[in-house]
Amino acid sequence: MRILIGIIVLLLLASGFMAPADDVYFSIPDKWPKPAYDFTQNPLKAETIQLGRALFYDPTLSSDGQISCASCHSQYTAFAHVDHKLSHGVQSLIGNRNAPALFNLAWQKSFMWDGAVHNLDALALAPMTSPVEMNENLPNIVDKLSASHRYRQAFAKAYGDSAITGTRTLKAISQFLVTLISCNSKYDKVTRGETGIRFSDNELHGYDLFKQNCAACHAEPLFTNGEFENNGIGTDSILKDPGRVKISLRKRDSLRFKVPSLRNVEVTYPYMHDGRFANLQMVLFHYTEAIGHDKTLSKPLKKKIVLSENDKRDLISFLKTLTDETFLRDKRFSYPVEFFSR
Amino acid sequence: MRLTLAIFLLVTSAFSQSRTVPLDFVPIIDGRSYSSETDAKTVSVCKFYVSDIVLFSNGKRVFESDKSYFLIDFSEPASLHRTLAIPDGCHFDKIRFTLGIDAATNENGVGDGDLDPVRGMYWAWQSGYINMKLEGAINGKTFEYHLGGFQQPFLSCRAVEISSANDAILIKVDPMRFLKKVPTEITHVMSPGKTAMQLSDLAVNMFYR
C-alpha cells in the first residue's frame, strides 16, 4: 500500500515538474529542421497574433470590401482555394495562378509559385495590391484601419500604442501566418510511433512507392524541398506562364515552379500552379505517362516512373495519410467571431 | 566664483558627446533651384533612399551611421532636412552614402518609419525596396524609372561620395545630370535587371556639392 501511495506521490510531483508546451503558438515539431523565419525581427505575442488573425479574415482590406485573405485561403481545405483552378478577386476578376495552401510557412525560404516574395512579412502586400485580387493599396488600408476604433484598440494591445502603420499591419499578419502549423496527420502519428496508429498495408506500400518516386522533390518532413523544379507539364497555351525565370532572369529557371508541400494534398485540389489537374489520378497519370522532356526538366524525372494501377491506388492511399484533420478544424485559426462581434 | 565656473564648464564639456550636423538635400533642375510649381512637368516624382552614411577625413573612415535610412522626396520639403549626431571633435571632409537599400536590409523584410512600405517605395509583386523613383517627361516623352533589385547579380544600390564642409553637409540633387545620360530609347524601367543596373550606375551623377 505504502509503495502504491509513494508511486502516486512521485507521479504527481513529476507532473508538476513537466514543462508546459514550449510555446503555445509556435514550436518546432520533433525532428523538423529549424524555421527560416527570423523571429527576432518579429517576436510572437498573443495580442499581435490575434490582430493578424482578424486582418486575415477582414474583407475591409480589399477595395470593394468583399475580398479577404480567407476568400481564397479557406481553413477547411488547408487554406487553399479548393475547386478553383485560378482564384477570383474583386469584381470576379480572375488571377493567373492557383492559390497555394498556407501552412508551415515559417519553414519556407520563398513564397509564391515563382518565389517572387522572399520574406513572409512582404507576402500579404502582393494579394493586397494586385488589381485582380484585393485591388487596394497600403496607405488606404492604413487609413481604413485607423478609422476603426476596434482596430486602434487591437493595435494598441499588440504594439503598446495605437499608431497603425503599414509595417505593423504586415507583421501582425505574419504572426498569425506562422502559427499555422500542420504536423498531426496520420503520417505524423505513425512516424512518431503513437500507440494504436499504423499504416494499412496499402498505405505502407504507397509510402514505399512515395520514397522511391516522389521524395527527391517532395522530401519529408515538410514534403517539399523548397526548390524550383520543372516537372514537365509544359506551358498553358493561354496563361503562358514562364515560372521562376521571370524573377531570377536565369534561363535555367524557365518553366520551373516551387515544389508545393504535399501535406493535406487530399483537400487542396486542383493541382499544379494553374490548377490544371482536377484530382490525384490525373497527377499520377502525368508523372507516369505524360512528362514533357524539355531542357530544364528536373533531373529526378528524367528516368521513367513506372506505376501499375494498384501502385497508383496505394500511392494515393498514402498521400491521404498526409491530411491533418486537427489543423483543418483548429478553432485557433478560424474566423475570430469575438473580434468582429465587438 | 570664476574658478568654480571654469571647473564646471571643463567637467561638463568632458561629458558632451555629440554634435549635430545638418544634412540637407537641395532639389535642383538643370543647375537651378527646383520648383514644384514650374518643374513638376519635367520631374514629377523624385524619391530615393539614402542609407549607410559614412564620413571620411583625409580618406580615413571617422564615422558610420548606425543603419539610418532616409527617404528623400522632392515633394516633401521636411524630408530634405536631416541631421546626423556625430561625436564631438569628429572632423570630416567627405560623406559617402548608399543610394538605395542594401541587400541585408532587404533580406530582413520590411522596416519601420521611412522603410514602411506605406511610403510607396516597396515592390509588392516581387518583394524588395525601390531605391529610387524618378518620373516626368522630357521633350513630350514620359519616363518612369523605378530602380531596385537586391538579389545577385542585379544588386542595384550604389555608393555616392561627395566632399563636404565640416560644419554642415549640403548635397545638391539634379535629376537632369542623370537624365541627360540615359539612352533615349529607355523610357520605362520597373523591375530589377540589367537595365536597372545600368541606370543605377548613371543615377549617382545626380549628386554633387
pLDDT in tens, B165-202: 998 999 999 999 999 999 999 999 999 999 999 999 99
Write the pLDDT tens digit of every residue in A203-253.
Answer: 999 999 999 999 999 999 999 999 999 999 999 888 999 999 999 999 999
CB A103 within 8 A of CB A224: no
Of B107, B115, B126, the CB nearest to A116: B126
pLDDT band for position A264 (cuts 50, 70, 90): very high
Q: Do A125 and B127 touch (CB under 8 A)?
A: yes
Helix A166-178 with A149-159: angle, nearest 10 deg: 70
- Measure the CA–CA gap between A233 and A283, rounded to whole angstroms: 10
Name residues 134-153 of chain B within 8 A of A (Cβ): 151
Residue with cell 545626380: B206
- H runs (alpha helix) in chain A: 2-17, 46-57, 120-123, 125-129, 138-146, 149-159, 166-178, 186-191, 201-213, 245-248, 280-289, 309-320, 325-329, 337-341
Closest CA–CA distance from residue A224 to any residue of chain B (Å): 22
> What pTM did the predictor assign?
0.90
Cell of B156: 542595384
Write the pLDDT tens digit of every residue in B45-81.
Answer: 999 999 999 999 999 999 999 778 999 999 999 999 9
Q: Given the DSSP bridges, would you call strands B94-99 and B158-163 parallel, antiparallel or unpaired?
A: antiparallel
Residues of A with CB below 8 A from B120's CB? 138-139
- Measure the CA–CA gap between A282 and A302, rounded to whole angstroms: 19
Closest CA–CA distance from residue B110 to any residue of chain A (Å): 6
CB A153 within 8 A of CB A32: no
Write the pLDDT tens digit of every residue in A113-136.
Answer: 999 999 999 999 999 999 999 999
Name residues 169-188 of chain B within 8 A of A (Cβ): none
Residues of B with CB below 8 A from A130's CB? 124-125
- Measure the CA–CA gap between A173 and A37, rounded to whole angstroms: 14
Residues of B with CB below 8 A from A118's CB? 106-107, 127-128, 151
For an interface test with A, the pick among B115, B126, B197 (most A C-beta atoms closer than 10 Å) comes out as B126
* ipTM of the complex in this document: 0.87
Q: Do B117 and A41 touch (CB under 8 A)?
A: no
For an interface test with B, the pick among A38, A117, A250 (most B C-beta atoms closer than 10 Å) comes out as A117
Of A116, A166, A247, the CB nearest to B117: A166
Does residue B111 sit at the A interface (CB-CB below 8 Å)?
Answer: yes
| Neighbour-count burial of A211, counting CB atoms closer than 10 A to its CB (0-12 exposed, 13-18 middle, 19+ buried) | middle
Does residue B117 sit at the A interface (CB-CB below 8 Å)?
Answer: yes
pLDDT band for position A19 (cuts 50, 70, 90): very low
